[in-house]
Chains A and B, each alone.
Chain A
């Protein structure tokens, strides 16, 4: 529990993580306010905007980990917080679990608050709002965990940040790939968006729960690989 608290505190005191919170909180309702909803997209109103806010979750997932690997000051060429974190925690597994747990909690709360704010601006409310909000919360949390996993592997925030933000665009890379092969529908972002979007230009139509499970499989696989790598390599 203390470990979890420590990670939560580390995350919430990072200026860049606060920026991530602000982006996630402001972007979807902001875009909701300035954009007109076309009639044929009525049933996804609000939820499309929530896909953009996932950038906040990506930033949180990236900086919670990349901050560990940034050189602090120039005194020691190799002096990074990860050394302190790993010496302060005997078990790397516990350390990773606490980090993922803190990230999950923060992003889930952020997603819930943002979804409520965004949908409060939506009239009339789309069908099945409650289960779809659960889908948004799961989607944001899984995306943050994917960002966390990739950053653990790359040890720099630049790569995951670029890949994942790039893929948030309206015409995402996975979307382009889905034009080439139907297998692209099983990429985590495309599969996961079935949890809350109804109109998806995807070659394969997945049920919300199936989409969630596909995304969950990606998260589990990536975090497992990351955990093994973190265990094996020198800090």
Chain B
């Protein structure tokens, strides 16, 4: 369960987020949709305690992120890139991540297998392709088998097979009663995966509801999105 209430933030003089409120519920995949620079990543970073909000609260399972004692067992997060240092191996990266939350070492090999990185686990992260880096980031997010997944542009850099695999993984997580929040600017992909949609534009919520509610009378989610954001061109 993710609850974001009235979150606001400025960077310098510009207000990057104002009055952001939405929920991501267990058992559902929630899509966070918006053009580049709309405030998707900023919101997710505030939710994960990386950036500070000036107003409002962002709670995971009823707690602000920094109050979680073993956060990996509650929230798995995938932000841009791999989140690993380039000169470590994939396995060494996951080992310290696991150790930081007291997770058993055996989990490392399990998640490596799950994301299909077992063979590349001994190679340095700098040699990974974009897609492999994303898989490593996802492996770290899944280490603690968390109830909540927060993913920023998860399909970015994945090949078509990887995109389909990611979609199935996310739907399975939701089907088992977990909460999934993902951001994307790929409308077609999102419409295939999500149950609920939150649309953000210029740092404000433009629309939120179930996929059907947000699509409304429009033919597709993409049409609805351009109608909401006025970015049709």
- Using a CB–CB cutoff of 8 Å, the interface residues on chain A facing chain B are 71, 73-78
Contacts and interface: CB of A to CB of B under 8 A. Distances in A.
B125 A77 contact: yes
B158 to A, nearest CB: 13
Contacts of B125: 77
Nearest to B128: A77
A182 to B, nearest CB: 40
A76 B81 CA distance: 6
19 contacts: A71-B86, A73-B81, A74-B82, A75-B80, A75-B81, A75-B130, A75-B156, A75-B157, A76-B81, A76-B130, A76-B133, A77-B81, A77-B82, A77-B125, A77-B126, A77-B128, A77-B133, A78-B128, A78-B129
Interface string B127-139: 1111011000000
B209 interface: no
- Tell me the dominant secondary structure on chain A's binding face: loop
B64 interface: no
A76 B126 CA distance: 9
- Nearest 4 interchain pairs by C-beta: A74-B81, A77-B133, A77-B128, A76-B130
B126 A78 contact: yes
B83 interface: yes
B137 to A, nearest CB: 9
Choose among A73, A74, A75, A77 the residue with the greatest number of B CB atoms under 10 Å from its CB.
Answer: A77
A76 B83 CA distance: 11
Nearest to A76: B130
B129 A77 contact: yes
Contacts, number: 31
A85 B127 CA distance: 20
Contacts of B132: 77
A45 B57 CA distance: 63
A140 B133 CA distance: 42
Given A75-B80, A75-B156, 16 more contacts: A71-B86, A73-B81, A74-B80, A74-B81, A74-B82, A74-B83, A75-B130, A76-B130, A77-B81, A77-B82, A77-B86, A77-B125, A77-B128, A77-B132, A78-B126, A78-B127
A76 B128 CA distance: 9
Interface in B99-114: none
A8 to B, nearest CB: 29
Interface string B75-87: 0000011110010
A66 B41 CA distance: 29
Contacts of A73: 80-81
Contacts of A77: 81-82, 86, 125-130, 132-133
Contacts of B133: 76-77
A71 B84 CA distance: 13
Nearest to B79: A74
A41 B125 CA distance: 53
Contacts of A78: 126-129
Contacts of A76: 81, 130, 133, 157
A154 B133 CA distance: 24
Nearest to B83: A74
B149 to A, nearest CB: 19
Nearest to A71: B86
Contacts of B156: 75
Contacts of B81: 73-77
Interface string B195-228: 0000000000000000000000000000000000
A119 to B, nearest CB: 43
A77 B156 CA distance: 13
A76 B86 CA distance: 11
Nearest to B137: A74
A210 to B, nearest CB: 43
